[in-house]
Structures are given as structure tokens and as C-alpha cells.
Amino acid sequence: MAGDDARSGQRGSGAGPLTIKERRHLNPSRAANLLIALAVRALPPAHRERYVQEFYGEIFGMSRARQVGYCLTLVVHSTRLALALDERDPTAEESARRDWRCALRRHHYVTRNNPDAETKVAAFYEQCARCARIRDRHPSGYTAIGP
Amino acid sequence: MTIPTQLVLENLLADPSQELYGLQIGQMAGLPSGTVHPILARLEAVGWLTSRWEDVDPREQGRPARRYYRLSAEGAVAAKAALARAYRPTRLPGSAHAPGQA
């Protein structure tokens, strides 16, 4: 597959470690970081960390323009992924039973912690104690994630 | 079953023992990246797919680990049966319309 050399993160045999310039080229761009953060925000918190890592694994080695294009489609279809994950989320049924206050958007948010998260975006979230609706605690924390 | 799901399953069934990551599956099926992951999540939820992290040291490899997907044994059987039953519009030669469509 084209780009496999770049994906491997190494030059030819015995060529030594990558230079800073080469590493910068291979690392995700800021735009890609931002778009991945946006894409996973729609997902249930328990799945965010996994998909952040999965998306980083996939865009690695792409050109910056291709990274942005790839991540844009992830953002566009993130609701579909969230729905697919919700279907197997055991709390989904619980969230369907809505309190009347929640129907009026009067949620009772409590801060919860995702102990498996390694990034700030995925680590903390706020969840309604009544209907389990999730609101991010750090809405401006896009730049916090990334390898 | 949607056409994108059929395309994903067809590509995975080409070699059920092969492990592929999301980008590869999307490229083989000719689907945009964003549409592949929801399909994979659904198939994984029903047990047709299994996934695992690539067993590499990111520092050593100089790149993040990938998430690999493969068909489970029961998933391969079920996918074959489902594909055989699935409606698949095929464009007839010289026809602009697929059969069965209005």
C-alpha cells in the first residue's frame, strides 16, 4: 500500500531514527487533532479514548491535507458512530426514560470521571443524574488531546 | 442490510482470517472513513467481528498502534448467509436502472 514506508515511521534499514522534520511531517496536524477531538465528543465517554487512539493510528503517515480530509469525514459521520455505540451501551435504555425536567432541558448534571482515559478530553464529563444525558466538562479542551 | 455493510462484509470475507484496520477496510470497500467505523461498531456489537489493538510498542515503532478487526468464526458463517439473502441492486448492461427499483 502506498504510504507504508511513511506509516512505519522508519526509514530504510539502518538509516537511523527519524529527524525532527520527518517526525513533524508524520505527526497529526493541529487541524487533525482538533477534528478528532470534535469527532469523539459526540461519542459516549467510555468509548472516546479508544476511538481517539484508533483515529490517530489511522491518520499516521498521511499528508496533512489528507489527514484533514479524513478527519472531516469522521466528524461528519460521528453521530452515526455515536448511535452505533449507543445501541450497545447498557445505559442507553436508561437514558430513554426521561424525566419531565430533562424534557424541559432542566438536567441535573454531576461530574463523572472516566478512569481509563488518558486524555483530558475523555477524562472528565458531566452526566445528568436523572436521564444519563452527557455534557462535556471541558468544551474548549480540544488541544489537550494528542500523542 | 445496507450496501456499505455488504461491501465491508464482502471484503472481510475475502480472507476471514486476515486482520484489517479501519482505514484499510474503508479503502478496500471504497467507502469514506466516517462510514466504516459505525458499521464496524455495529458488527462488533453483534459478535460478527472481533477487534484488538496491534501488539506493537509505539515508541519502538515510531507510530501509534492500530485497531485491527477480523471476522469471528460465527460472524463469517452468519455474514455469508446474510449476504446471500441480502438485496443487492446490480445494474444491468445497457440499463440505467437497477432491477427492483421504481
**In the predicted structure, residue A142 carries a pLDDT above the cut 70:** no
Global pTM? 0.64
Please report, as a single letter, which amino acid is at residue B17.
S
CB pairs < 8 Å spanning A and B: 81
Domain locations along chain A: 17-85, 100-145
Contacts of B53 in chain A (CB under 8 A): 53
CA distance B38 to A84: 6
B68 touches chain A (CB under 8 A): no
Q: Which of A24, A73, A55, A67 is nearest to A119 (CA)?
A: A55
The answer to whether residues B63 and A57 touch, using CB atoms and an 8 Å cutoff, is yes
Of B22, B42, B61, the CB nearest to A84: B42
Please name every residue paired with A112 in a beta bridge, in sequence order, or none if there are none: A125
Contact B41 A88 (CB under 8 A): yes
**In the predicted structure, residue A143 carries a pLDDT above the cut 80:** no
B4 touches chain A (CB under 8 A): no
Q: Is A63 helix (H, G, I), strand (E, B) or coil?
A: coil
Contact A53 B61 (CB under 8 A): no
Query: B44 φ, ψ to 5°?
Result: -70, -35
Close Cβ partners of B72 (under 8 Å, ≥ 6 residues apart): B47, B48, B49, B50
CA distance A94 to A86: 11
Residue A88 binned pLDDT confidence (cut-offs 50, 70, 90)? low
Query: A84 φ, ψ to 5°?
Result: -60, -40
Contact B45 A88 (CB under 8 A): yes
Residue with cell 448534571: A109
Of A9, A61, A80, the CB nearest to B38: A80
Instruction: Pick the most confident of A14-18, A26-30, B76-80, B94-98.
Output: B76-80
Would you state the CATH architecture of domain B3-55+66-87?
Orthogonal Bundle (1.10)
Average pLDDT over residues B3-23: 89
Average pLDDT over residues B79-95: 69
